[in-house]
């Protein structure tokens, strides 16, 4: 009798465990995590107060191991800014971004500093998407305007916008013949397209425009759920809600990593934004040794260039 009672109790516990596990799986399946950086300006090596790619890589791996649906986005001004990036004309940054697993990037004004032709060459090296819906050369888009990801059973659309400040913040020859279309008009056009033709359930604008410009977009265009922004180097520790749109930005130089947790349901979209500081990350993670080894290789190439070898 005692044995049967034990079997019954064990059976009940197993059922409870399965129900709890199933609930957790369902809860996780409808969550989308967006990790985002902006205005890295070539700070790919970890240093005092910044993460660099070695620590970012460790965080990204951790999130991929704990969540099924993860997007890693960069809001521009990334490939230029330090000798290890500039002397290799962006190659070091792009190859490290490939290794750490970025999903997409929008070009910032300083990403044109090697010339738009070099940016197109770097795009060929990229294992992630370089997108911009308003960068036009001879009446044709220079980059793909958007991408669609099937995540958590939903269609997640990401379109991108670059700043017209590029005209005055890089050498004119770097963007000769290039036009930057109006960001509000472009946003409205692509939101309409993504909703009506692509059947998007969740729309992200990946922008290198700055908080003033993205606020104007959020006030003028309905249908954008999340704007991941750069250019103005703002630190929005819990995001900024404008109309129905959440705007996020994570300061500069990998001093912070932005994190957005999105819970998608048929009837609602819950968005919670936060940031991880470099100090927090370094207290909880070790740098990725594979990324450090790649940085050593790029460092050797930089030394050879500097010595004229």
Tell which residue, 84, 141, 144, 77, has the closest CA to residue 112: 77
CB-based contact 260:272 (threshold 8 Å): yes
pLDDT of 80: 96
d(CA 108, CA 164): 10
For residues 304 and 309, what is the distance between their CA atoms, to the nearest angstrom?
5
Predicted TM-score of the model (pTM): 0.90
Residues of the chain with pLDDT under 70: 1-29
> Residue 28: its pLDDT value, please?
53
Domain range annotation of the chain: 31-306
Q: The domain at 31-306 falls in which architecture? A: 4-Layer Sandwich (3.60)
| CA dihedral over 230, 232, 237, 239, signed as positive or negative | negative
According to DSSP H, which parts of the chain are helical? 2-29, 52-66, 83-86, 91-100, 116-125, 166-169, 183-196, 211-220, 278-284, 289-306
The pLDDT assigned to 30 comes to 79
pLDDT at res. 23: 38
- Please answer whether residues 225 and 270 qualify as being in contact, where contact means their C-beta atoms are separated by less than 8 angstroms: no
pLDDT of residue 10: 52
């Amino acid at each position: 009798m005692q044995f049967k009672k034990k079997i019954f109790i064990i059976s009940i516990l197993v059922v409870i465990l399965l129900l709890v596990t199933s609930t957790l799986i369902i809860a996780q399946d409808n969550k989308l995590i967006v990790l985002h950086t902006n205005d890295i300006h070539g700070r790919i090596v970890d240093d005092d107060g910044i993460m660099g790619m070695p620590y970012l890589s460790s965080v990204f791996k951790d999130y991929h191991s704990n969540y099924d649906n993860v997007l890693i986005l960069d809001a521009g001004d990334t490939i230029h800014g330090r000798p290890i990036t500039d002397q290799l004309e962006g190659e070091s940054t792009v190859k490290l971004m490939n290794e750490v697993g970025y999903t997409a990037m929008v070009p910032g004004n300083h990403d044109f500093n090697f010339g738009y032709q070099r940016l197109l060459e770097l795009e060929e090296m990229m294992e992630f998407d370089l997108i911009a819906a308003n960068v036009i050369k001879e009446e044709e888009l220079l980059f793909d305007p958007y991408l669609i990801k099937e995540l958590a059973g939903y269609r997640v659309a990401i379109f991108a916008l670059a700043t017209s400040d590029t005209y005055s913040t890089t050498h004119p020859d770097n963007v000769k013949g290039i036009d930057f279309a109006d960001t509000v008009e472009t946003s409205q056009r692509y939101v309409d397209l993504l909703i009506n033709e692509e059947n998007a359930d969740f729309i992200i604008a990946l922008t290198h425009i700055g908080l003033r410009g993205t606020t104007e977009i959020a006030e003028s265009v309905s249908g954008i759920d999340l704007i991941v922004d750069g250019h103005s180097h703002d630190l929005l520790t819990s995001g900024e809600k404008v109309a129905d749109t959440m705007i996020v930005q994570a300061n500069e130089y990998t001093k912070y990593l932005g994190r957005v947790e999105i819970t998608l349901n048929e009837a609602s979209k819950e968005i919670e934004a936060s940031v991880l500081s470099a100090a927090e990350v370094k207290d909880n993670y070790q740098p990725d040794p594979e990324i450090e080894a790649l940085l050593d290789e790029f460092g050797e190439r930089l030394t050879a260039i500097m010595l004229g070898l």
